[in-house]
């Protein structure tokens, strides 16, 4: 019997899930990736197949989850996560955040495993405080088009705390802010893949609204380090992980134009309903509890990501 620790990563073939698979393998864990491949892709984990410490199970976690043997940790990352994806798949998004979280927590309880929930800055909705810290309860429109994701994740947080308080499951909650890097899907509709694909193809770059809305983009390597540290800490309350370096979407589009040297023009398109106007993580808790802060600047991270997208376009 191996003495290595075992982690189950739901959504393991997704953008973040696949980077987490690598992270835990590098830290000496055995990794089981589980994914129904709705938005995830085998391309993201192809290079891990054949590693004795890695296995993949195709399964929809809204149904009963069976894993044989011991588990030390479950990272619950399964969910459509880009606005376009969850608008296209509203019911699956609601189900994986609710039923899927329930199943994954049930498994954690049965295996006596620690459970870490991938939550989101979307729990803050269109925020009325800035930057957002973890004590803010948010400003979410439950019946708006983003409600299927926001409320599913808010429910998932409530369910996680329920299992912690009632069943004594060891739980962690990470609130993930905008993250980018290799293995994002070119067509996931998010700002960065959209802008890079448009720039590389010489198409117009579509800024929604006047582009004055802000986001704060974190490079994926920084994010997975923060998540790893949180999983190893004893801090139960939610922790924001993200890069506080805030930028308007118009300036972000201009950065992509400059980096790619494209002749593409920036054009404006209507702003989607309930699109948050501002977003910046307050990472005081992550700094204090995890001794974590991002290290990769946007200019470094964007170069690495561009190399990836150039091969994909
Ligand atoms: N956005 C944009 N053009 C696009 C895609 C997105 O201007 O082609 C804007 C979007 O309206 C939002 C911001 O970029 O204000 C970030 O969008 P994204 O979908 O990446 O993530 P969000 O933070 O909204 O979940």
CA separation for the pair 307, 299 (Å, rounded): 13
Nearest-CA residue for ligand 1 atom 19 is 190
Mean pLDDT by 10 residues, the chain (313 residues): 92 98 98 98 98 98 97 98 94 98 98 98 98 98 97 98 98 98 95 97 98 98 98 98 98 98 98 96 98 98 97 92
Phi, psi dihedrals of residue 173, rounded to the nearest 5°: -130, 120
Residue 215, class by beta-carbon neighbours within 10 Å (0-12 exposed, 13-18 middle, 19+ buried)?
buried
Q: Decide whether any atom of ligand 1 lies within 6 Å of the 111 Cβ.
A: no
- Specify the ligand 1 atom closest to the Cα of 205: 8
Q: Decide whether any atom of ligand 1 lies within 6 Å of the 207 Cβ.
A: yes
Q: Does residue 308 carry a catalytic annotation?
A: no
Candidate of 144, 190, 197 to mutate for ligand 1, largest count of ligand atoms within 8 Å of Cβ:
190
**Longest alpha-carbon distance in the chain:** 59
The structural domains of the chain, ordered by start, are 6-180+218-244+279-295 (3.40.50.720)
The predicted-structure confidence for 78-113, as pLDDT tens digits, reads as follows 999 999 999 999 999 999 999 999 999 999 999 999
- Write down the catalytic residue from 24, 86, 149, 163: 149
């Amino acid at each position: 019997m191996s003495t290595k620790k075992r982690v189950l990563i739901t959504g393991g073939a997704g953008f973040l899930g696949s980077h987490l698979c690598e992270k835990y393998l590098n830290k000496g864990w055995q990794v089981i990736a589980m994914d129904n491949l709705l938005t995830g892709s085998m391309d993201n984990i192809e290079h891990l197949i054949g590693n004795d410490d890695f296995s993949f199970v195709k399964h929809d976690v809204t149904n009963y989850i069976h894993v044989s043997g011991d588990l030390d940790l479950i990272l619950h990352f399964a969910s459509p996560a880009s606005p376009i994806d969850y608008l296209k798949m509203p019911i699956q998004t609601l189900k994986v955040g609710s039923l899927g979280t329930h199943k994954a927590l049930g498994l954690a309880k049965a295996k006596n495993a620690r459970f870490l929930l991938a939550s989101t800055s979307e729990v803050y909705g269109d925020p009325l405080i800035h930057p957002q810290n973890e004590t803010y309860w948010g400003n979410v429109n439950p019946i708006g088009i983003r409600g299927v994701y926001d409320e599913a994740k808010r429910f998932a947080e409530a369910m996680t705390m329920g299992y912690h308080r009632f069943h004594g499951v060891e739980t962690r909650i990470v609130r993930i802010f905008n993250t980018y890097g290799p293995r994002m899907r070119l067509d996931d509709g998010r700002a960065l893949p959209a802008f890079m694909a448009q720039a590389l193809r010489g198409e117009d770059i579509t800024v929604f609204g006047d582009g004055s809305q802000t986001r704060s983009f974190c490079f994926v390597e920084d994010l997975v380090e923060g998540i790893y540290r949180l999983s190893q800490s004893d801090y139960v309350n939610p922790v924001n992980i993200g890069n506080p370096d805030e930028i308007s979407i118009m300036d972000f589009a201009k950065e992509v134009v400059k980096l790619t040297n494209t002749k593409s023009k920036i054009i404006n398109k209507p702003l989607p309903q309930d699109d948050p106007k501002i977003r910046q993580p307050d990472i005081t808790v992550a700094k204090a509890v995890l001794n974590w802060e991002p290290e990769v600047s946007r200019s470094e991270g964007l170069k690495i990501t561009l190399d990836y997208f150039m091969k994909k376009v």
